[in-house]
Structure 1
Amino acid sequence: MSQPVMVAGPIPAPISEPDSKWTYLDNVRRNKGPYTSEEFDTSDEAVSTMDRLKVLGAGGLGCELLKDLALSGFKDIHVIDMDTIDVSNLNRQFLFRHSDVGKSKAEVAARFVEKRVKGVSITPHNCKIQDKDEDFYMQFNIVICGLDSIEARRWMNSTLINLADPENPESYKPLIDGGTEGLSTQLGFKGQSRVVFPTITSCLECQLDMHAPRQAVPLCTLATIPRQPEHCIEWAHIIAWEQEKPFPKLDNDDPEHITWLYKKALARGEEFKISGVTYSLTQGVVKNIIPAIASTNAIIAASCCNEAFKIATQTNPSLGFEENYMMYSGNDSIYTYTFKHEKKDDCPVCGQLARDLEVDPNFTLQEFIESLAERAEAQLKKPSIRAESHTLYMQSPVSLEEMTRPNLKKKIGELVGNGDEIAVTDPSLGTVNFKYKLKFSKAYRAVA
């Protein structure tokens, strides 16, 4: 959920004048402005369109987004968040109180906003976004993501693009994405908001290279000479988990799994006299979460809500078709910049072309899979690979993994030919395939 400043002192009384509280919005919705088109409709029917729109908000900007959407005139809002409220949330997530600790964030936030803004209906969903099917997402007019996980963003992006059907205009769901960024030593003073019109404009996968992959720590450091609490956590995450396998599969969103990693990392820290290992830090390292800043979250959430309002009312051009990406930086001052991120023809989600990929055919399939995880445009974690006529390696189900495991030791040149296309899938992308056209390195071709 969001992380703005906690409200102190008595809570203001609910707004109780439903007929007049939207006057400031009606000034915008009922009057043409310098950026409205000639067809801009100011009738009662057009203004009441917002009453019928369904908006979905998900993830880490939730508190700010819910408040902003409710006060902007949206009346049918759904929110997804699988987390429960922790004491550490109370200093910045302003919809929560100490008595709410342990309760569902989505449920508490929804009820709080409904009490404050009469006439709004907020439906909470205490689950992962991946738990919902396509029919669930089809009911919404606008989807806003404030997710703190790149993997979850990619999943939502690919899901909404898969929904798009040229014969059904209602299947096109605008995706508004917002997030904060920073370094582990610098907190989240940077952020961005962007709008994706599925299959029409640049999507989040086209823009993946804007997010640098997490910095890798050498395994020798993790295994022998950890120096920071993060090293202890990564050791638990990468080494201890694989050695002990406490659960069949690691789920970064499962509190029980994170608790296991935290206890292992804490013991590792005590062994090497390293302090600072906490549950929240463990969760942040494992999920690659940047520590949040209240003001940054408030600004980015407001920008996302502003884009939703513009799309719903057509009072101003939204991000999306011309300039579709807004960057914010608050490190030294307040700076914003908007630009157009071009659509990529070889994007694995919204593009049509296979990407050329130069590869050393002497690589084993295992080495090739590991190299995919390091590529900035892929950032895959557990890829499965198929050639045009046969399967090279599948991560799941177990039967297929066992059947294709022997291929991991074989050389690429033995499994596929120069110029062959392969399809790469990953859980982070749902059903989307990366398409690569393999080009064997020049040195190998010269020898061959």
Structure 2
Amino acid sequence: MTAIASPPPLHRHPSLTSSQDQARQRYLSTPDAEKYAAIDRVLDRRGGRTHEAFVGGQETKEFLRKTCKILVIGAGGLGCEILQNLALMGFRDIHVIDMDTIDISNLNRQFLFREADVGKAKSIVAAEFVMKRVPGVKVTPYYGKIQDHDEAYYKSFNMIITGLDSVEARRWINATLVGMVDEDDPESLKPLIDGGTEGFKGQARVILPTMSACYECSMDMLTPPTVFPICTIANTPRLPEHCIEWASVLEWPKAFKDKKLDNDDPDHIEWLYQKAADRAKQYGIEGVTWSLTQGVVKNIIPAIASTNAIIAAACCNEAFKLATTSAPSLDNYTMYVGNDSIYAFTFKHEKNPECPVCGGETVDLKVKKGTKVESFIEMLTENQRFQIKKPSISFGSGQPLFWQAPPQFYEQTKHNLEKDLDELIASGDEITVTDKALPFSLDLRIEFE
């Protein structure tokens, strides 16, 4: 963990112009009462929409600026905006996690970074920049995965904001926060504020684990991921994407065994591209390019700076309301669309009683008799509710029905793909589905029709 205990010495920052530096020096010498005068007007008195639990005054200001500890997950386009907003609103103990390094393509919208920062860790550079520009704020960066930390780490925060571009990471942190809620310990409940953008569209939501709808409750609202059946990519490729998936899913493990594919490594992408191009030529398929290979492997999502700014503002507004009770928080979902005009809509997303995370019950699933195991697996991957890619299935006390990995289990269970599911299990039996995209085991009760 890389922690920066205090801002660097106060000197002219090299990226600032003379006039900007003069403005910064004036800011440094301004007392807190003047810096936060506009915010203090909100915190010093009640208003027409003030929350009933609002206390205000010095106690609330001190909690915001001295006690409240907030975690930001993601330091990309959305994360940069969130970090800036939090620092300027008065949050002074901010932590940030990001596992990526800065790429030249980030610079058009991730404004905390400069060309000289390319190749450096996003979290560390963002933390340094914010502390230089907003003295008095402590930003502690972590360069790595959210899965590197245990529940004790997440329990140390008052709230968490996500600015992620990964559904898998959102599902993991959501399941973690729901799982660590203890009814006898109110402090174990940590509000999760989730922001997301895609082009001109965005959403912000407030999740109170176990109390409101969690992230998993709304999986059916997401655009389902593009999934190609393994039998198609292995035996009958028809699209350039099939060839690329074949190279990344089947050929890479064969060639490199335990070496993990790095989607950000140009050499790895080049290897996949060459393999995919050779296979495409073999089957007479056109359209395999280096950029398409990168896009398929990384699942690149378009990003627009203005959308990031709008959604980050919504997320930070909710963080401020939760920290100060100055107004009721969002209940619990707001969406923004700016394609042709500006449209925003707020609604309450209801809890899903069959949610595998916060519902706590086995999910019932009806399947037609005579369905092959291979067809059943394709049905699971196409089910928008589950959002899984390459599931492995067990039944009974962990007996494998079909496992995608490791290779020895795949070889031992692949013969079941051609069998009818009702040959292997009875109606009412429960199966367990595991998948790399799932941060939990999905228990399904199968009813044959």
Which TM-score band applies after superposition, normalised by the shorter structure? 0.7 to 0.9
1:33-72 residue pairs with structure 2 within 5 A?
33-50=47-64, 51-59=66-74, 60=76, 61-72=78-89
Match of 2:200 among 182, 186, 189: 189
Which letter does structure 1 place at the counterpart of 2:45? N
Q: Is contact 1:419-1:439 (8 Å) kept? A: yes
- Structure-2 separation of matches of 1:190 and 1:426: 28
Q: Give 1:415's aligned residue.
A: 424
Q: Is contact 1:418-1:439 (8 Å) kept? A: yes
Q: Give 2:211's aligned residue.
A: 200
Match of 1:78 among 83, 95, 110: 95
Residue by residue over 1:38-70, the C-alpha shift from the partner in whole angstroms, topping out at 9 and shown as x without a partner, is 442123122211121111111232111110111
Residue by residue over 1:2-53, the C-alpha shift from the partner in whole angstroms, topping out at 9 and shown as x without a partner, is xxxxxx9838333312422111111111111112234421231222111211
Work out the percentage of aligned pairs sharing the same amino acid.
Answer: 49
Q: Is contact 2:263-2:269 (8 Å) kept? A: no
Q: Is contact 1:214-1:288 (8 Å) kept? A: no
Residue by residue over 1:305-342, the C-alpha shift from the partner in whole angstroms, topping out at 9 and shown as x without a partner, is 111111111111112xxx31111000011111001111
Q: Is contact 1:176-1:304 (8 Å) kept? A: yes
Cα deviation for residue 141 of structure 1 reads 1.1
Change (3 A) 1:402 1:76: farther
Cα deviation for residue 252 of structure 1 reads 6.8
Q: Is contact 2:247-2:272 (8 Å) kept? A: no
Residue by residue over 1:159-188, the C-alpha shift from the partner in whole angstroms, topping out at 9 and shown as x without a partner, is 11111111111111111111112xxxxxx1
- Structure-2 separation of matches of 1:407 and 1:267: 29
Q: Is contact 2:82-2:313 (8 Å) kept? A: yes
Q: Give 1:363's aligned residue.
A: 371
- Structure-1 separation of matches of 2:85 and 2:192: 17
Change (3 A) 1:318 1:262: farther
Change (3 A) 1:134 1:392: same
1:21-420 residue pairs with structure 2 within 5 A?
21-50=35-64, 51-59=66-74, 60=76, 61-181=78-198, 188-215=199-226, 219=232, 226=239, 231=240, 235-239=243-247, 241-245=249-253, 246-248=255-257, 254-256=263-265, 259-265=267-273, 274=287, 277-278=290-291, 282-319=293-330, 323-393=331-401, 394-395=403-404, 407-420=416-429
Which letter does structure 2 place at the counterpart of 1:200? M
Which letter does structure 2 place at the counterpart of 1:379? Q
Cα deviation for residue 117 of structure 1 reads 0.4
Deviates more, 1:380-389 or 1:344-353: 380-389
Q: Is contact 2:104-2:118 (8 Å) kept? A: yes
Counting matched residue pairs gives: 416
- Structure-2 separation of matches of 1:53 and 1:399: 50
Which letter does structure 2 place at the counterpart of 1:309? F
SS at match of 1:80: strand
Which letter does structure 2 place at the counterpart of 1:313? T
Q: Give 1:446's aligned residue.
A: none
- Structure-2 separation of matches of 1:418 and 1:217: 28
Residue by residue over 1:102-159, the C-alpha shift from the partner in whole angstroms, topping out at 9 and shown as x without a partner, is 1111111100000000111001111111222222211111111111011111111111
- Structure-1 separation of matches of 2:394 and 2:209: 26
Deviates more, 1:31-40 or 1:327-336: 31-40
Change (3 A) 1:237 1:210: same
Q: Is contact 2:234-2:246 (8 Å) kept? A: no
Which letter does structure 2 place at the counterpart of 1:28? V
Change (3 A) 1:249 1:300: farther
Q: Is contact 2:102-2:120 (8 Å) kept? A: yes
Residue by residue over 1:326-369, the C-alpha shift from the partner in whole angstroms, topping out at 9 and shown as x without a partner, is 11000011111001111011001110333221113433334322
- Structure-2 separation of matches of 1:353 and 1:268: 42
Q: Is contact 2:373-2:420 (8 Å) kept? A: yes
Cα deviation for residue 390 of structure 1 reads 4.6
- Structure-2 separation of matches of 1:42 and 1:387: 55
- Structure-1 separation of matches of 2:303 and 2:73: 16
- Structure-1 separation of matches of 2:156 and 2:271: 42
Q: Is contact 1:382-1:427 (8 Å) kept? A: yes
Deviates more, 1:213-222 or 1:380-389: 213-222
1:428 counterpart = 2:434: no
- Structure-2 separation of matches of 1:173 and 1:244: 40
Q: Is contact 1:269-1:277 (8 Å) kept? A: no
SS at match of 1:124: strand
Which letter does structure 2 place at the counterpart of 1:235? C
Deviates more, 1:302-311 or 1:134-143: 134-143
SS at match of 1:438: strand
Change (3 A) 1:192 1:200: same
- Structure-2 separation of matches of 1:269 and 1:409: 30
Which letter does structure 2 place at the counterpart of 1:131? D
